[in-house]
Chain A
Amino acid sequence: MNQFKKNVLNELQHVKLSAEKKQQIAQKARSRNRQKQNSQRQYRIVLATFTLLAIGFSVLVTLKTEHPTRTMQGATLQQETNRWSLWMLLEHDWIKGLVLLSLFVTIALWIKRILLKKGYGLPVCMACGEVWTAKLVRKYYWKNGQMSCPHCQKVHYRTKKSVQLNAFTNLPIPFMVFINYFFSNLLMGISFYIVSVAIYLYILIPVVIKLQEDDPSNEPLW
């Protein structure tokens, strides 16, 4: 080692990574790797939704244009078809349902993106550093109690903040009451809403859970 290097190393003694920082980097590396795999799936969901929507639109457009030529019910009807606009598509319950579905998926992906940027993501075990699978998180989501790591059996609890966040993710469920204002066929509206909320929760659940070691049951929630 030359003298220059020795001197510089000596002067830079205070420049070093703390043990916490090292652990944090390792955890981040693991969770980012996981996110990278997930991004492929997100892309597929968006593509599938878009394709469904495009097919739905095109089917309805062809139905609408074929209808008057088949029946030919006078000039008034012909005029109506001339004044045809995209908004008239929203008269159909199927289209409304598909719009609702795509709206929910978009909102869910948008919220997920914000949460990922804020450092949320699939939970990482505090003891062994293993990342939990999304399937496991979805299973634990419905339990408010303790969750044990499948790799090292260490018991974890949800943080107060993630419980609060959970309350906000469930926010769209009560809005089901307003469905009858939008859908003429109520049953179809409700079924579309349920499917939309299910997809919404399916996307969001894995990222809203954060873990801590202490039991927060004795602390106040708000």
Chain B
Amino acid sequence: MEIEQIIAEHGDYLLKVAYLYVKNEATAEDIVQDVFIAFYQKQQQFRQESSLRTYLVKMTVNRSHDYLRSWKSKRLSLFEKIVGRTTTITPEKELLAKSTKQELVAALFTLSVPYREVLILYYFEEMTTVDIAKLVHCPEATIRTRLQRARKQLASIIGDDDWEVLRYESI
């Protein structure tokens, strides 16, 4: 399959996943670009045991982890904590964000990375806890605990009225 076709098919989805991790669209774009470049160079390593999307999502998740672990990200988040405002919000983006309802994503962004991650992978990626445990290199019990805590935290942030989405969904 041509690389253009793969980018057209999976690019937007991967960008959303990366954005949910790093909270920044420009960085997410860089990550997605890295993923496609790496995929193009090493596509013979893809053993086709899973679907292409799963493979690319795993690459995106790993690269998002790398970014969050990097000094650049730590410096930016420290700066945000001190100033109390992200440096990457432009008036255009603010307007765009206002025009669409952003409650759930905004609530997700207030969670710490381990909790946000399990919610993204479990509900957005629709992965099982076993798969998440393999991907994050954690015991499965830890993932279940994180999932429970993350749901509780999210529920308290959003408020109980809007929280019917996940309340009755079991692990």
CB distance from A45 to the nearest CB of B (A): 22
- Interface assignment of B123: CB less than 8 Å from any CB of chain A: yes
* Chain A residue with the shortest CB-CB distance to B35: A25
Nearest CB to that of A32 among chain B residues?
A: B37
Q: Which residue of B lies closest to A12 (CB)?
A: B16
Q: Is A39 an interface residue (CB 8 A)?
A: no
Query: Which residues does chain B contribute within 8 Å of A33, judged by CB atoms?
Result: 40-41
Cα-based distance from A5 to B11 in the complex (angstroms): 17
Instruction: Determine the residue in chain A with the shortest Cβ distance to B106.
Output: A11
Which of chain A's residues 1-44 have a Cβ closer than 8 Å to chain B?
1-5, 7-17, 21-26, 28-30, 32-33, 36
Asked, given contacts A2-B123, A29-B36, whether A22 binds B28 with beta carbons under 8 Å apart, the answer is no
CA distance A157 to B81 in the complex (A): 50
Could you mark each residue 33-74 of chain A with 1 if its beta carbon is under 8 Å from any beta carbon of chain B, else 0?
A: 100100000000000000000000000000000000000000
Q: Are B36 and A4 in contact (CB under 8 A)?
A: no
Which residue on A lies nearest to B7, using beta carbons? A22
Given A8-B20, A26-B7, residue A16 in contact with residue B36 (CB < 8 A): no
Q: Which among A1, A11, A24, A36 has the greatest number of chain B C-beta atoms within 10 A?
A: A11
Residue B124 interfacial (CB < 8 Å): yes
CA distance A12 to B102 in the complex (A): 8
Across the interface, do A4 and B124 meet the contact criterion of CB distance under 8 Å? yes
Whether the Cβ atoms of A30 and B40 lie closer than 8 Å is yes
Residues of A within 8 A of B11 (CB): 16-17, 22, 25
Contact B19 A12 (CB under 8 A): yes
The distance in angstroms between the C-alpha atoms of A23 and B2, with both chains bound, is 12
Number of interface residues of A (CB under 8 A): 29
**Contacts A8-B105, A14-B97, A15-B16 given; 19 further ones with Cβ under 8 A?**
A1-B126, A2-B123, A3-B165, A4-B104, A4-B165, A5-B123, A5-B126, A8-B20, A15-B19, A16-B11, A16-B12, A16-B15, A17-B7, A22-B7, A22-B11, A25-B7, A30-B40, A32-B41, A36-B41
Chain A to chain B contacts (Cβ below 8 Å), 21 pairs: A3-B165, A4-B104, A4-B166, A7-B165, A10-B101, A11-B102, A11-B105, A12-B19, A13-B100, A14-B97, A15-B12, A15-B19, A17-B15, A22-B4, A22-B11, A25-B32, A26-B3, A29-B3, A29-B39, A29-B41, A32-B37
B interface residues with partner A (beta carbon < 8 Å): 3-4, 7-8, 11-12, 15-16, 19-20, 25, 28-29, 32-33, 36-37, 39-41, 96-97, 100-105, 108, 119, 123-124, 126, 165-166, 169
Q: Please report A residues at the B interface, Cβ cutoff 8 Å.
A: 1-5, 7-17, 21-26, 28-30, 32-33, 36, 129
